[in-house]
Amino acid sequence: MPKTRTKPSCSPKDACAVVIAAGQGTRMRSDLPKIVHPLGGLPMVGHVLEVCRRLGVKRTLVVIGYRAERVREVLAAYPVEFVLQEDQRGTAHAVLQTEASLRGFEGDVLVLNGDVPLLSDALVQRLLTTHAESRAVATAVTTRLADPSGYGRVLRDRRGGFRGIVEEVEATSAERRVKEINAGIYCFSAPRLFEALHQVRPSAVKGELYLPEVLAILLKEKGRIATVLADDAREVLGINTRAELAEAYGVLRRRVVDRLMEAGVTCLDPATTHVSALATVGRDTTLYPQVQIEGATRIGDGCTVHAGSRIRDSQLGNGVTVLDGCVILEAEIADECIIGPYAHLRPGNKLRRKVKIGNFVEVKKSVVGEGSKVPHLTYVGDSTLGERVNVGAGTITCNYDGFGKHQTIIEDGAFIGSNSCLVAPVRIGRGAYVAAGSTITQEVAPDALAFGRAQQVNKEGRAAVIRAEKAKR
């Protein structure tokens, strides 16, 4: 009985990733390393690291160099290992710095660039699968460009087999007409990779060590080289300028919006809807034009976010309505709340079920109990409001005395009249009433009625006298 041939493994769990992220990116005209520039809620390189995370690669090594400490800070939350390339001497030199970290590793090494934020999981999985199934020592990603100027051309034999990469400065006129280019994304057999890296010689032009030379070395050693064609060139092209960064953001933004609509979210104007790659939005939620959902925001089912609102790093429950022009930052909002229009929720707020925060209300670092209402023109800061509290228009909690912040506590069922000042620290008892226009500096007992204003005085006929006097002038 013939033996069954075992299919090669293509699991990302058998591979390590090396992400090259050591350069400055001088064309960005920035003091920041190129790969930490923000893009769609993540640093640019974060999109590449997310691909590695989602695919579950065994280890991810990030080669850093320019402003290495800044890169470490930005990527501190990622489960990666940093490898320092003190002198940036080319891509082959960058990968060679990982040799000590990967000593003894016999699997496959993915080599990715940190400036390709449009890279997809599917393309990397194809790369791994092709590499395993073709039993190659190296597999390279290629793509085709209408204008391949500036890129190394992929050369093939008459049967279409890979026979090398030629840089543009060294290409013949016929070779320059080739549209297929090297994308700089690879999968290597680890032992063969590091053997070949030690044989790479500096380029005659810049004196740097370039990774495509490894392919030429492996070919001379009769190693099998496979290729994977990226049908969408945008996936593999690096970001080098601010203009290219903006173009990449446009692609990422539309990808996220399309994914949301496929999952049951209504985006009334996809062209002006901006949602972070880290955000989640529940089904039957409607996003109006000019909405911005930033950071790791989570929005539940059946919510409505109206035009011009911005929500960052917040959690919204089900059935929440955010009216026009609201700013919501680092807030927790429970089911069926209504916010706005033009409300500002600063960081640290927790709103319980069916809370209403109305027009031109600012709330900061406060807890607002179930069913409570702060309808309009009010500031609530460093406060705890119980259930079914009503706060009248123009009320402010005076939480800062020039030296420190103090707490205001308003217990269940209390009613605060319009244009009141609650001078913290202060407590308004359960079911208490505060008369409109009051300045409250002392505790109000439960069910008490508090007046904190001067006694009204009426002077009969005085208004007519004043008008007469003014008329004589």
Dist. CA 144–CA 183, nearest whole Å: 9
- Residue carrying structure tokens 């069926």: 336
| Biggest CA pair distance of the chain | 123
Asked if 362 and 331 count as a contact pair (C-beta separation under 8 A), the reply is no
Identify the helix (H) or strand (E) that includes residue 131: helix 121-133
DSSP assignment of 318-375: TT-EE-TT-EEES-EE-TT-EE-SS-EE-TT-EE-TT-EEEET-EEES-EE-TT-EEE
Is 376 annotated in the active site? yes
- According to DSSP, residue 152 is labeled P
Alpha carbon dihedral 88, 93, 95, 101, in 10-degree steps, equals -90
Dist. CA 123–CA 112, nearest whole Å: 12
Catalytic residue among 93, 131, 344, 376: 376
Beta bridge partners of 188: 109, 138
Query: 170: how many CB neighbours lie within 10 A of its CB?
Result: 12
Give the N- to C-terminal CA distance of the chain in Å, as an integer: 121
Residues identified as active-site? 376
